[in-house]
Amino acid sequence: EQATHMRVRIGGIDDDSYAVFLDDVSEQRRFEEVRRDFVTNVSHELKTPSGAIALLAETIGDASDDPEAVRYFAGRIMKESERLSQLVHHLIDLQHVQDMSAIQVTQRVDALAAVREAIALDATQAQAKSIAVQLTADRRVLPLDAASEAHGEAGPHAEAFEVLADRESLTTAVRNLVENAIRYSPQHGSVAVTLERAGSVVRIRVVDQGIGIPKEAQQRIFERFYRVDAARSRATGGSGLGLSIAKHGIEEHGGTLGVWSHEGFGSTFTIEMPLAPENAAT
């Protein structure tokens, strides 16, 4: 259904002869379209919170003799600026995973440590909603911080989950999944993160019992800026980029990211990444 665009080019062969070239520039055109859409989306996403901040600041000015109102509007400004800052961070992450040369899939990374780091980065959001995040590796529940594991029962060997990866992209991917699991779960909900070896891959699952994702939307959630419910997602602070960053980052490592979900019951996101060679053999 995509139109084909040809460009005519005339090139000299020698002093007397010329050749006419027909170049297929459809690919280039499509790329341009995607880029234009992206810029439009980004502008729109930036405009919404910055417009809200301007409006709220103006309102504060008018309400300066009412301390309670000032506190309320200051809080809203804070929320909007957090949204702006998250969007900018997501744009930087997206840039990182799209720049293949920036990704070093040669680092030996302990996936368990990366997962712990990702969970720690989402701790504030989890606390704010009183959501318990449980970490399980090879069916054993582990403490969230490695330090307490060292004092307690011996944990699994770190090499058990060693992958060749760019640590930052792996951590970011898991972090975005955990962040979503928290965002789309009710207060006092629970989120489970599990790691297990399955043949030559490590499988990382992020499981929530939140709102779930309708069947017809499951194909599209990995697209940039796609949201099942734009209004709700914006209200809860999403950028619409988290999953595309995660998918891109994982696929860059030769891994996969998939989803299983049932509306009203919850969602499970599954990452599979090849284990580091010697690690997989043991």
Residue with smaller CB distance to ligand ADP, 72 or 226:
226
267 binds ligand ADP (CB under 6 A): yes
| 257 near ligand ADP, judged by CB under 6 A | no
- Between the alpha carbon of residue 281 and those of residues 165, 197, 237, the distances in Å are 18, 12, 43
Binding status of residue 194 toward ligand ADP by CB under 6 A: no
Strands in the chain per DSSP E: 6-12, 18-24, 107-110, 132-137, 140-142, 162-165, 190-198, 201-208, 256-262, 266-274
169 binds ligand ADP (CB under 6 A): no
6: phi > 0 → left, psi -120 to 50 → alpha, else beta; which? beta
Contact (CB, 8 A) for 89 and 83? no
172 binds ligand ADP (CB under 6 A): no
How far, CA to CA in Å, does 69 sit from each of 4, 52, 57, 75, 77? 58, 16, 12, 10, 12
Q: How far is the CB of 23 from ligand ADP (least distance, A)?
A: 36
**Segment lying near ligand ADP (by CB under 6 A), choices 54-62, 97-105, 138-146, 225-233:** 225-233
* Piece of the chain touching ligand ADP by CB under 6 A; list 46-54, 64-72, 75-83, 207-215: 207-215
Asked if 252 contacts 105 with a C-beta cutoff of 8 angstroms, the reply is yes
Q: Does 180 bind ligand ADP (CB under 6 A)?
A: yes
Largest CA distance in the chain: 85
Out of 242, 249, 255, 274, name the contact with ligand ADP by CB under 6 A: 242
- Does position 126 interact with ligand ADP (CB under 6 A)? The reply is no
CB of 86 to ligand ADP, least distance (A): 8
Q: Which of 60, 62, 101 is nearest to 80 (CA)?
A: 60
* Cβ at position 270, least distance to ligand ADP in Å: 12
Answer for the pair 210, 178: CB distance below 8 angstroms, yes or no.
Answer: no
* 49 is an interface residue for ligand ADP by CB under 6 A: no
Closer residue to ligand ADP in complex, CB, 31/265: 265
181 binds ligand ADP (CB under 6 A): yes
**171 versus 176: smaller Cβ distance to ligand ADP:** 176
Please pick, from the candidates 80, 162, 208, 252, the single residue that binds ligand ADP as defined by CB under 6 A. Answer: 208
Half-sphere exposure of 239 (CA within 13 A, CB side): 25
- Under the criterion CB under 6 A, does residue 191 sit at the interface with ligand ADP? no
Q: Does 189 bind ligand ADP (CB under 6 A)?
A: no
Contact between 133 and ligand ADP per CB under 6 A: no
The answer to whether 27 and 7 are in contact (CB under 8 A) is no
Q: Which of 172, 153, 60 is nearest to 115 (CA)?
A: 172
Residues at the site binding ligand ADP, with contacts judged by CB under 6 A? 176, 180-181, 184, 208, 210-213, 221, 226-229, 233, 238-244, 267
